[in-house]
Structure 1
Amino acid sequence: MLLNPEAVGTAIEILKDDAASVFYAEPHQLVYNAIVGLYRDATPVDVVTLMERLSRDDAVEKAGGPSYIADLAGVVPTSANVEHYAKIVLDAAVLRRLITACSTLAGEAYESPGDVNALLDKAEAAMFSIAETRQLSPIFPVGELVPDAIDRIEAIIRSHKGYTGVPSGFHELDQMLSGFQPSDMIVLAARPSVGKTAFSLNIASHVAIHEKKAVLVFSLEMSKEQLVQRLLCMAGGIDSQRLRSGYLARNEFPKVQLGANKLSAAPIFIDDTPNISILELRSKARRHAAQHNLDLVVIDYLQLMRAPGRTESRQTEIAEISRSIKGIARELRVPVIALSQLSREAEKDDTGAPKLSHLRESGAIEQDADVVIMLSRPPAYKRQGGGEDDDEGGGGGHEKLIHVNVAKQRNGPTGKLDLFFDRNTQRFQDPAAGGAEAPPYVPGARDDEPPYDVDEPADEDEGIPF
């Protein structure tokens, strides 16, 4: 840096401006801070200006004295390798931090802490903090990025699909979003029992079964057994209540086998760790992405997660979790669908339509999200047959109707659409197209009517035919 003032910017980009965390020896910390100060003031950096800055701070002797500072300029033969030299310094700093963190954690572990989970969270936080100091984000000239953009556009044109991201399986939603984009955080919000978990599983099953893309599901609310049962109902078109009770007709056994065959070949991975921390989730997602292909992450749901350590309020904790989820999407370059609860205020709204302000416990969620999708049902009087004046469109009086509101999209349009939700089979479907997987919906059918012909129950003595 003393040989070539232009090398200062390159070094600062790698080492940042915190000398104490990078340099071990105090003289080197003082010299580096002085150089950063000169660079910040747009003052040329050389031995003379450095000596003047150190003299002004009364730090010449602490920095090793005039002779030592003069000798620094001759330590390296050229400034051309400043980037490599800076990385050597950074690597040494990372190793020192790693040694310090491990020593501290080992001491706390020997003291037998009462809360082992808290110590594990602290260990993960320390490791991630150290790893982040090693991640360098270079600046790219736009000329290097244009060829990749052209290649993506050509691939879209050849595919004839009309979208650039991971498709949801719902035509109108995919047209609006152009699929779920890599690095996007998608918040899927609704009040309890509206169907947000079922909706996310419909998306996951379509992505895995039809698009042959890998999906990782973190389920904090439901067990893996419950999720698989729901997925079986969706894939096979089976009544969920009849499957849960075991009261299946003969013609339903092939449907169970069909659903099982589809799911067995689908690249869906499930983690049902309850009360998982954001650090543990991030660690598992990174490890899974390194070992397998990964195209979509689903988190059910955001408010059940916890941040490491203690936070001053629940709002602060949710804000930290939200920022971390966005960081996971950026780091893994995959869309992350995070389910979220809506506050009770959403039910009190006169219009019956939830708003961004109804996202529960933190305003940071709507700020961090690239896309916010809100599910809601028509008001009760419309579901019960009122709704002749419904201006929402799409048969507002039907019990199966679900309003889907794309309330925010950072890089595209917002808007509303309607879907039908068959609670018997846990399937969502487009009213016009019949959905990605679902059989065509027949308006006017009774809600309690099964979506198949019910035969006599199977004889227990015959055995189960699969």
Structure 2
Amino acid sequence: MYNKPVKLETLIHILKEKGKLRKIGGEAYLSRIIKNGEVEQDVEYYAKIVRDKACLRRIIEKDEDNVDDILDFVEDSVFEILETKIKPKYYYHIGKLIEKSIDILEECERDKSKVKEMPAGVNLLENVMPGIEKPGFYAFYVHPRIGKTNYILSIVEDAAVVKNIPVAILSLDTPKEQLSMWLLLYKAGVELSRQKQVFLKKDDWIELVSAAGDLCSAPIYIDDSPDIMLREIIQKAHSFKKDIDTGIIIIDHFELINAHSSSEDTNHDFVKSMKSLKVLAKDLDMAIVTFLNKFSTLDILKYHVDTVALISGDKKIFHTNRSRENT
């Protein structure tokens, strides 16, 4: 019954079952309350119905136009509806998260038992392959023992901090607080132990303060919404482009986008998603970078992205479909 108009018969039945109908004044009293309040109470619900029906009527009225116009109109209508259903504030600027990261590190200094695990090792992406350019669609698989996170952090630092290009991170698995902590430590160049734990020295705090300042002024935005579908990714990309003129979108744990798909053909789902995002990158004039968790998906996807990369120890394999003018 939530967010729907109250039906008198249903409400009377429920109250009778609970033995509370007589206590509130009976059917006559309840009828008066609902009759007097139904206009204000239900206006939002019925307004939504009117809006949705109007949208459908506009689509029907387009039946005499050419197919391309109809498709463009439907696409715009879908994004308009999605924007009303998605949470108004689903992403966070890194500046709002860094302060909490500093607080956590200070707490760890006071109590070593609360030391958090962090990604170990530093591998700069620019030392491995050419820079990321827009428009373009990229897919990376980094072997777990190397540290995928560092490649993500390297892209973010180079683009947002060094080049001031707005970067949006869609983290489908890692919480935004943890990701902001990793960014802070990475930017500060804090040395990590073999146990993947942070032991800060006095000099580290100077670097951390400097890194925090750089990150807070950088155009970095994090969205850690879980369980999102491809259509939501597309909608978010349009919003990022409109709101902050995003140049690069990074999608971690890309396979999770299709985790709730009803299709049994996983490979087909991946290819479909990749094709859609490749078109999206071109339409929005941005770079979309995806990181994969499964090595087996690389061979399937290499013909559907601009650049695919396998990074495993000393083994670095790249397959690109970009023209020489764009490489």
TM range (shorter): 0.5 to 0.7
Cα shift at 1:240: 4.1
Q: 1:229: which partner in 2?
A: 181
Q: 1:194: which partner in 2?
A: 146
Q: State the distance in 1 between where 2:195 and 2:211 align.
A: 12
Q: State the distance in 2 between where 1:297 and 1:371 align.
A: 15
* Equivalent residue for 2:313, pick from 377, 383, 394: 377
Would the aligned equivalents of 1:279 and 1:307 in 2 still touch at CA under 8 Å?
Answer: no
Give the structure with the higher percent helix. 2
Deviations 1:388-437 (A, max 9, x none): xxxxxxxxxxxxxxx43323343249x9xxxxxxxxxxxxxxxxxxxxxx
1:410 is the counterpart of 2:322: yes
1:359 is the counterpart of 2:297: yes
Would the aligned equivalents of 2:192 and 2:198 in 1 still touch at CA under 8 Å?
Answer: no
Would the aligned equivalents of 1:215 and 1:297 in 2 still touch at CA under 8 Å?
Answer: yes
1:239 is the counterpart of 2:182: no
Would the aligned equivalents of 2:255 and 2:293 in 1 still touch at CA under 8 Å?
Answer: yes
Identity of aligned residues (%): 20
**CA 1:171/1:412 → structure 2, altered by over 3 Å: closer, same or farther?**
farther
Bigger relative contact order (CA 8 A; separation at least 6): 2
TM-score in terms of structure 1 length: 0.42
Q: 1:173: which partner in 2?
A: 129
Cα shift at 1:301: 2.2
Cα shift at 1:24: 6.4
* Amino acid aligned to 1:189: Y
**Which segments of 5 or more consecutive residues in structure 2 lack a partner in the other structure?**
1-57, 86-123
1:261 is the counterpart of 2:213: yes
Cα shift at 1:171: 6.0
Q: State the distance in 2 between where 1:197 and 1:238 align.
A: 15
Q: Which has the larger radius of gyration?
A: 1
Cα shift at 1:323: 1.7
Q: 1:424: which partner in 2?
A: none
Q: State the distance in 2 between where 1:24 and 1:212 align.
A: 45
Q: 1:354: which partner in 2?
A: none
Give every structure 1 segment of 4 or more consecutive aligned residues whose post-TM-superposition deviation is greater than 3 Å: 21-25, 240-247
Specify the SS of the correspondent of 2:129.
helix
**CA 1:233/1:327 → structure 2, altered by over 3 Å: closer, same or farther?**
same
* Amino acid aligned to 2:297: L
**CA 1:305/1:253 → structure 2, altered by over 3 Å: closer, same or farther?**
same
Cα shift at 1:275: 2.5
TM-score in terms of structure 2 length: 0.59
* Amino acid aligned to 1:359: T
Would the aligned equivalents of 1:297 and 1:337 in 2 still touch at CA under 8 Å?
Answer: yes
Q: State the distance in 2 between where 1:295 and 1:311 align.
A: 32
* Equivalent residue for 2:235, pick from 265, 283, 289: 283
Give the RMSD, CA atoms, in angstroms.
3.9
Q: 2:46: which partner in 1?
A: none
Q: 1:418: which partner in 2?
A: none
Count of equivalent residues? 227
* Amino acid aligned to 1:170: E
Cα shift at 1:184: 1.1
Task: State how 1:88-127 maps to structure 2 within 5 Å.
Answer: 124=82
